[in-house]
Structure 1
Amino acid sequence: MLKDGSNLVVHLRPAPVVARVGAVTSMVRGDVHEHFHRADSVARFLAGRGVPVVEPLLGPIRWDGLVVSFASYVEHDAEWRPDPASFAAMLAELHAELRHYPGALPAAAPLADIDAVLALAGRPADLVRARDGLAARWPDLPGQALHGDSHPRNVLFTARGPVWNDFEDAWFGPVGWDVACAARGPLLARDAVARAYPVEGLSYWLELRELFGRCWRLALDLHRDGPGHPARVQRSGRSGR
């Protein structure tokens, strides 16, 4: 197992293949087939333009109630940490290529995820207020195809250099969202990213990204505490309901 978070990611040893299985994403987004398909489509488009990306192999497919996609396993240095300037330059280069993406992408995708989590959680009043305030201030800025989750952990550092990964959250919107994704993570200094990739309205996108993260952490808690999840079984001492 490589990751057990919003999706389950498994290296199918000894094959150089990684399977991605919809988990929390399926709870929040329902049928994630379209999201997985969009990730493959964007990655294949970028690969065709010479952008280093993790190569999709097969999928997405539906199997036993799950949505699964398959990609090449990429040997990489898990301890690699980029400096803000180089990562900002990589992101700007990625955006330059993504401007040519011809496929359809959703608009305001972060708000759609936030709304879905709020509905699952019974619409907590503080989060609803924060969501409504941000939605009312949505900036009227030019849009383009975005990575959607462009933090350093979605870049693999390989022998041939950095390789972009995980385009599941791709959407059409202002580039400030992607810059906020990079700047809000724990691996890069926020002010340094902002200086290296100045964009209009970054403070707004940082606020939205913070709320987005809170909602996805809430979704993860709801998923882990659901009936039959091992964490719940261990606490309850029962075999599930």
Structure 2
Amino acid sequence: MEPSELHRAVEAGQATASELGLQAGDVMVVHDSDRVALRLAPCGVLARVAPLGHLADSEFEVEVARRLAEVDAPVAELEPRVEPRVFSRDGFAISFWTYYEPVGSEIAPAVYADVFLRHHAALRRIDLDAPHFTDRVAAALREVNDRERSPELPGPDRELLSDTLSGLSAATSIEKARDQLLHGEPHPGNLLNTRRGPLFVDLATCCRGPVEFDLAHAPEEVGTHYAGADHGLIRRCRALNWAMFSAWRWRRDDQMPDRDHWRVEGLSQVRVALDRCRLD
């Protein structure tokens, strides 16, 4: 967020928490992008604050978390001291979550795969209306094909991303019989190592598709520990994920920190992933 908007978001999160009886005298910004995550102390709560334009996403995330908690999924929980819903204040949508102190170091691939298996099993136990992953691909493709929305994207790179998004989306969505609910973006940054064990966060990306779409967000070694995974499909999904990631970075209004670096890195990773697919 822009500094002025970030300041307003912090004030909105802190004021809402105080009104709900949570002691929030100290605030630390844990993550800052198109929405922010705030650690509130001394109450030990995580507030997720987004512009009201993201209200539907915030409400969807809360509903996903509420349902997954009922089936004991390995996910971060909503803050139990307040009503499980999204609050609106000063142009922001605010939700409150349990704060988990990180512990340990990098999560081993076998452990990561085990958490995936348990999470996917839990997702199969809930009934939720969620978009198909190809809907997200289509949204990324619109950004790439609209020169006004991505004016700085060079012509050859625009063609690369457009061809990758359209071609791999069709190639990875043929067998819909294997589709199920997924996390949607379970990369290492969205899997916390806590005293309760590894827990997935950022549940607003929940969608439908093959489990390989989720596995493609994790380090490559994770897929080797996931029984029954189609490794060729994982590699195709990995190329597709990098193409979507790159498409978002070239949006005119993208606010990801260090965006220029990730624009270059994203395109590089698309090419590496496509080369791996061609070797198949």
Distance in 2 (alpha carbons) for counterparts of 1:169 and 1:213:
13
Q: 1:115 to 1:84 in 2, by over 3 A?
A: same
Higher relative contact order (CA 8 A, sep 6+): 1
Q: Tell me if 1:35 matches 2:65.
A: no
Counterpart secondary structure, 1:222: coil
Q: Tell me if 1:104 matches 2:129.
A: yes
Q: Is the 8 A contact 1:180 1:205 kept in 2?
A: yes
Aligned to 1:15: 43
Aligned to 1:45: 67
Aligned to 2:245: 213
| Amino acid across the alignment from 2:60 | R
Aligned to 1:85: 110
State the shift of 1:181 in Å: 0.9
State the shift of 1:6 in Å: 4.2
State the shift of 1:96 in Å: 0.9
Q: 1:6 to 1:180 in 2, by over 3 A?
A: farther
1:158-177 equivalent positions in 2, closer than 5 A: 158-177=194-213
**What are the superposed Cα offsets for residues 107-134 of structure 1, whole Å, 9 maximum, x if unpaired?**
1243144135334215844422322222
Distance in 1 (alpha carbons) for counterparts of 2:141 and 2:30:
29
User: Please, which runs of 5 or more residues in structure 2 have no aligned partner?
Assistant: 1-28, 260-280
Counterpart secondary structure, 2:105: coil
Distance in 1 (alpha carbons) for counterparts of 2:72 and 2:164:
40
Q: Is the 8 A contact 2:50 2:94 kept in 1?
A: yes
Aligned to 1:138: 172
| Amino acid across the alignment from 2:225 | A
1:67 aligned to which of 89, 93, 99: 93
Q: Is the 8 A contact 2:123 2:182 kept in 1?
A: yes
Distance in 1 (alpha carbons) for counterparts of 2:138 and 2:92:
22
State the shift of 1:35 in Å: 1.9
User: Please, which runs of 5 or more residues in structure 1 have no aligned partner?
Assistant: 184-189, 226-230, 232-241
State the shift of 1:202 in Å: 1.4
With the length of structure 2 as denominator, give the TM-score of the two structures: 0.67
Larger Rg: 2
Q: Is the 8 A contact 1:19 1:70 kept in 2?
A: yes
Q: Is the 8 A contact 2:72 2:122 kept in 1?
A: no
Aligned to 1:155: 191
1:4 aligned to which of 32, 35, 47: 32
**What are the superposed Cα offsets for residues 160-182 of structure 1, whole Å, 9 maximum, x if unpaired?**
22222111100011111100011
**What are the superposed Cα offsets for residues 126-162 of structure 1, whole Å, 9 maximum, x if unpaired?**
4223222223323322211101111222122222222
Distance in 1 (alpha carbons) for counterparts of 2:37 and 2:234:
31
Indicate the RMSD between aligned Cα atoms, in angstroms: 2.6
With the length of structure 1 as denominator, give the TM-score of the two structures: 0.77
Distance in 1 (alpha carbons) for counterparts of 2:138 and 2:41:
36
Q: Tell me if 1:202 matches 2:234.
A: yes
Aligned to 1:228: none
Q: May I ask how many residue pairs the two structures share in their alignment?
A: 212
| Amino acid across the alignment from 1:170 | C
1 or 2, which has the higher helix percentage?
2
Distance in 1 (alpha carbons) for counterparts of 2:44 and 2:76:
12
